Amino acid sequence: MPATALQLALPVPLPTLFDYTPPPGHMAGPGDVGRRLRVPFGPREMVGIVTGLVPSAPDAPPLREALGFLEPCPVLTGELWDSLHWLARYLHAPLGEVLATALPATLRRGEALPDIADHGWQLTEAGYTALPSLRAGAPRQLAEWLQAQGQCPEMRLDIAQPGWRAPMRSLHKRGLVEEIDMTMWPPVPTPQIGPTLNHAQQAAADAIRAANGYAPFLLDGVTGSGKTEVYLDAIADCLARGRQALVLVPEIGLTPQMLARFEQRLGVPVHALHSGLNDNERARTWWAAANGSAQVIVGTRSAVFVPLPNAGLIVIDEEHDSSYKQFDGIRYHARDFAIVRAKTMGIPVVLGSATPSLETLQNAQAGRYSMLRLTERAGDAKPPRVRVLDVRKRPLQAGMAPEMLSAIRSAIDAGGQVLVFKNRRGYAPMLLCHDCGWSAHCPRCSTPDKPTPMTAHAGGKRLQCHHCGNRRPAPSACPDCAGLALEPQGNGTERIEELLAAQFTDVPVIRIDRGSTQRRDALQQHFDTLGSQPGILIGTQMLAKGHDLPNLTLVAVVGIDEGLYSADFRSGEKLSQLLVQVAGRAGRADKPGEVLLQTHHPDHPLLHTLINGGYHAFADEELALRDAASLPPYAHLAVLRAEAKHVDAPTRFLAEAKHLLEGVNADVQAMQLHGPLPAPMPRRAGYQRMQLVISASQRKTLHQALGTVMPTIRTLPDARKLRWSLDVDAVDLY
Ligand SMILES: Nc1ncnc2c1ncn2[C@@H]1O[C@H](COP(=O)(O)OP(=O)(O)OP(=O)(O)O)[C@@H](O)[C@H]1O
Ligand SMILES: [Zn+2]
């Protein structure tokens, strides 16, 4: 009988699988597929996944021997296993890298499977005694909370007390708390009843409940229309059928409040998966899903890889959000992969948005998705009134017209809250010498033709490149003429904050952007600081989506003009989504909302269409334009990118790739190749960036061509020397 070898996918950038003889004493069998195996690879050790069994030919050179399995059972099985194979083929990516991306980091590194017994905490006797005399601070606050809870599992702490680990450690050191094993979940509070669904919500909920098997829905509901209530109804129905539900949300949307709301309403533990968790926590949730003990999983992009042995529903909130697309490594799109999984599992999938992506709208129009519309706001809330403010020739302060400032004043005086939106972080987008015209550029991202300005921060004292992260102190004198007339040009959120804080000393003025809100719970802390009192929030697109601030009555949009004339074909879509979403924060409860949109281009067709016809009018026009220009969603794109310190090698590599693609047989004539050309951002962090855009009207054509040439492209001599990537369905051509 010929011996059987194990075939393995390893996390290496090669499209091949690797054969090994089984570890000593093990007879390979079909049950090994999907198991993690440690193997020698070159001088190193690696963890791979068994993909199949192969007969080892007696006359072939001897294979290396595997070191050992990491556990007795497969970690990847069933539908997820099949879907990941599909994903590797679709992205033309090595299977080993795709499988590694799907696994939680600890499992990828070869650590043991997590212990999913539930750990919890409680006060000790000493803790109860010492509590009244503890100093005020985080540990005391946590101890008081624990006293009220009795015993509390860690997962509940993650939701209700974000940042609990440090104060818990401090209490633990003093013997005031102890860790306990909570194999049984304490009951979640009895589910709270939500608002009675309105007619449109009920119709949407009924349609989802009636679905049988794979059924994709677009829940297209204006901002504040109560899409979340429809999701909750669908999830409750899924739980009642004894099935698991996966909810994908954008990075920004996953707040402790949102999790708590889901848990209260569903009456079961809600398992979160997001970048704020450590690797062990992520692995625990992943494995709890694989065991079916996690019934509801709410997570950001990478949560699309959780195993769902007993799935009943997938929800993708804000389906248009760009954070669903992975921008490096394995460039998957979580929304699209979620739909593929739903199809394989034969379950409904709900895509929700007030501003659906054009891809999704086109799928709905073509009848591939059922369209569910919520055209009115829920409850008594009314849509906000939108006014365009023409600021040509107006005197501006920190980029804001006097009418804007007085509107903010009126809103505050009426007891409301104001959101000032400016999609530019920092103090000013540029530092300029008024004497000689010198300006600060990033030395790592600029080219002679295309200088990249550095953004001024801290009132102009620091410089930062928003493309590569390069930072340095601002010079005190002009490096060219030694003059002292260095001036920050233009306006970012910091400068707006400076002005508003000086003018509105009677209310809190809070800036929210990536600079001020590094930590996940910081955003909520900002909201808590504000409470329901009058005040001003200044923010970038972090503030545009998903937040429900009942007292927000005015949204002041300062400066969107940069976006109106961008070269990227998706810029109109992105800008429209951003504007509609940010406008949608106003007037979500009983107080009416107003949106003031300041621009130097009041007659721009995009603004005109959006304001008079709304997002759908824009989308219809834009879809017609895309169709005429053969752009996505009417064409399918892949971008081959390459970069190096010097531009020659990337150019040569892409030219060879192009040559190979041109050589593919005749039935792929319907394919267009653009490039090699410098990327719209031709240099970043010292690397020259080139790209080749491949497009085809038929998805199949594109994939046939890529399938034919990618294996050869990987073996080109330059492929090993360069940084390069293939991005199928690229979203950004940057
Ligand atoms: N049927 C209803 N009756 C009364 N209030 C409701 C109803 N449905 C939802 N609401 C309330 O309306 C508000 C908006 O709901 P929700 O946050 O679900 O909207 P959304 O469609 O997700 O909005 P967005 O897309 O802007 O985030 C919430 O405060 C919610 O509690
Ligand atoms: Zn830079």
Q: Buried b / exposed e across 403-436, counting CB within 10 Å, b at 16+?
A: ebbebbeebbeeebbbbbbbbbbbbbbbbbbeee
- Answer positive or negative: Cα dihedral of 421, 424, 428, 430: negative
Confidence of residue 585 (pLDDT cuts 50, 70, 90): confident
Token readout for 598 is 């300041």
- Work out the average pLDDT over 586-605: 84
Q: Please name every residue paired with 374 in a beta bridge, in sequence order, or none if there are none.
A: 221
Confidence check: pLDDT of 610 > 90? no
Q: How far is CA 473 from each of CA 446, 454, 455, 492, 606, rounded to the nearest angstrom? A: 18, 11, 11, 18, 39
- Work out the average pLDDT over 173-198: 78
Task: Look at residues 535, 532, 524 and name the one whose alpha carbon lies nearest to residue 501.
Answer: 535
Q: For residue 455, which ligand has an atom nearest its CA?
A: 2
Which residue, by CA, sits nearest to atom 16 of ligand 1? 226
Confidence check: pLDDT of 614 > 70? yes
Give the rounded percent of residues in the chain with a pLDDT score beyond 70: 96
pLDDT in tens, 75-118: 999 999 999 999 999 999 999 999 999 999 999 998 888 877 67
Q: With contact defined as beta carbons under 8 Å apart, do 398 and 495 qualify? A: yes
Q: Is it true that 385-424+492-628 and 636-728 share their CATH fold?
A: no
Q: How far apart are CA 506 and CA 631, in angstroms?
A: 51
Q: With contact defined as beta carbons under 8 Å apart, do 102 and 80 qualify? A: yes
18 backbone dihedrals φ, ψ, rounded to 5°: -125, 135
Question: Which fold does the domain 636-728 belong to in CATH?
Answer: Alpha-Beta Plaits (3.30.70)
Q: With contact defined as beta carbons under 8 Å apart, do 507 and 534 qualify? A: yes
385 backbone dihedrals φ, ψ, rounded to 5°: -85, 135
Task: Look at residues 137, 142, 130 and name the one whose alpha carbon lies nearest to residue 176.
Answer: 130
Token readout for 376 is 């009115």
Confidence check: pLDDT of 213 > 90? yes
CATH number for the domain formed by residue range(s) 385-424+492-628: 3.40.50.300
Token readout for 695 is 């497009």
Confidence check: pLDDT of 371 > 80? yes
Q: For residue 321, which ligand has an atom nearest its CA?
A: 1
Q: Determine how many CB atoms are found less than 10 A away from the CB of residue 53.
A: 17
Please tell me the chain's helix, strand, coil percentages from 3-state DSSP, rounded to the nearest 5: 35, 25, 40
Looking up tokens 């294996």, which residue turns up?
A: 711
Q: With contact defined as beta carbons under 8 Å apart, do 153 and 118 qualify? A: yes
pLDDT in tens, 512-560: 876 555 555 667 777 777 778 888 989 887 777 667 788 888 988 887 7
pLDDT in tens, 417-446: 999 998 888 999 999 999 999 999 999 999
Question: In terms of CATH architecture, what is 199-374?
Answer: 3-Layer(aba) Sandwich (3.40)
Token readout for 726 is 């293939």
Q: What is the pLDDT of residue 185?
A: 54
DSSP symbol at 135: P
3-class DSSP state of 245: strand
Opening angle at CA 74, ends 68 and 80, nearest 5 = 140
Output the CA 621–ligand 1 centroid distance in Å: 29
User: What is the average pLDDT value for the chain, to the nearest integer?
Assistant: 88
Q: Buried b / exposed e across 606-618, counting CB within 10 Å, b at 16+?
A: bbebbbeebbbeb
Output the CA 468–ligand 2 centroid distance in Å: 4
Q: Is the peptide bond before 676 cis (omega within 30 degrees of 0)?
A: yes
Question: Which fold does the domain 4-108 belong to in CATH?
Answer: GIY-YIG endonuclease (3.40.1440)
- Residues flanking ligand 1, CB < 6 Å: 195-198, 201, 221, 223-229, 354, 378-379, 546, 548, 584, 588
Strand-pair category, 4-9 with 723-728: unpaired
Q: Determine how many CB atoms are found less than 10 A away from the CB of residue 55.
A: 11
Which residue, by CA, sits nearest to atom 15 of ligand 1? 226
Q: With contact defined as beta carbons under 8 Å apart, do 159 and 128 qualify? A: no
Q: Which of 225, 232, 316 to mutate to test the pocket of ligand 1 (most atoms within 8 A of CB)?
A: 225
- Work out the average pLDDT over 383-395: 85
Q: For residue 472, which ligand has an atom nearest its CA?
A: 2
DSSP per position, 652-679: HHHHHHHHHHHTS-GGGTTEEEEEEEEE
Enumerate the domain spans of the chain: 4-108, 119-181, 199-374, 385-424+492-628, 636-728
